[in-house]
A and B are shown apart, each in its own frame.
Chain A
Amino acid sequence: DQQVKQNSPSLSVQEGRISILNCDYTNSMFDYFLWYKKYPAEGPTFLISISSIKDKNEDGRFTVFLNKSAKHLSLHIVPSQPGDSAVYFCAAFGGSQGNLIFGKGTKLSVKP
């Protein structure tokens, strides 16, 4: 059973607009969440994280929101740029697990 779910396999956005990528999780023991970005033929690269004691973390154009009661987090990219086109993975740490659990990813396409 998937503990981290990204229900949208793809998302297309116009350059300059906001991109919103969503992620749901089932394990209430998760306490640290991360977003990774992946280009083809490269490994995932860390983008931004949030601890469960916060509900928002912002870094430049990237903001992650956490709603613990809904077990939901989202990544906002604004303004979106063509170079943001990549696969974005949501991941979570916590509970008895020392490893990071990943979602299946959302492929973002930002059109000029």
Chain B
Amino acid sequence: GAGVSQSPRYKVAKRGQDVALRCDPISGHVSLFWYQQALGQGPEFLTYFQNEAQLDKSGLPSDRFFAERPEGSVSTLKIQRTQQEDSAVYLCASSFPRGELFFGEGSRLTVL
């Protein structure tokens, strides 16, 4: 498709489970971003890639969160040993450098 694609759209996990969220950016977009959006809040920055290089991971809330983009295209956000406070919508976006971000529809994670 032409837009940013995220999967799964919805994920329910038991506390302590590991989850992996996938993002397919727009073809040719160099920059890829992950944001976390809690209910009633704006998107909060997690991490940012330029091609395969992770340039900024200052927003990752703990070492349970890990992101990769090994070939500079598809990215995976992994959350280990999920906790209830991890419940949120995880948004992926891609762009040309310093251009407007195009967002996917998000992956809604619910941790029970």
Contact = CB atoms under 8 A, between A and B. Distances in A.
Contacts of B42: 4, 6, 89, 102-105
A42 B105 contact: yes
Interface in B14-40: 31, 33, 35, 40
Contacts of B100: 34, 46, 49
A98 B104 contact: no
Report the contact-size class of chain A (Cβ under 8 Å from the partner).
Answer: 20 to 34
A98 B41 contact: no
Contacts of B106: 42-43
A93 interface: yes
A70 interface: no
A89 B33 contact: no
A97 interface: yes
Contacts of A89: 42-43
A89 to B, nearest CB: 5
B104 A43 contact: yes
B99 to A, nearest CB: 9
Interface of A: 4, 6, 32, 34, 36, 41-46, 49, 89, 93, 97-105
Q: Which 8 A-B pairs have the closest CB atoms?
A: A43-B103, A102-B42, A104-B42, A46-B100, A99-B45, A102-B43, A99-B48, A43-B105
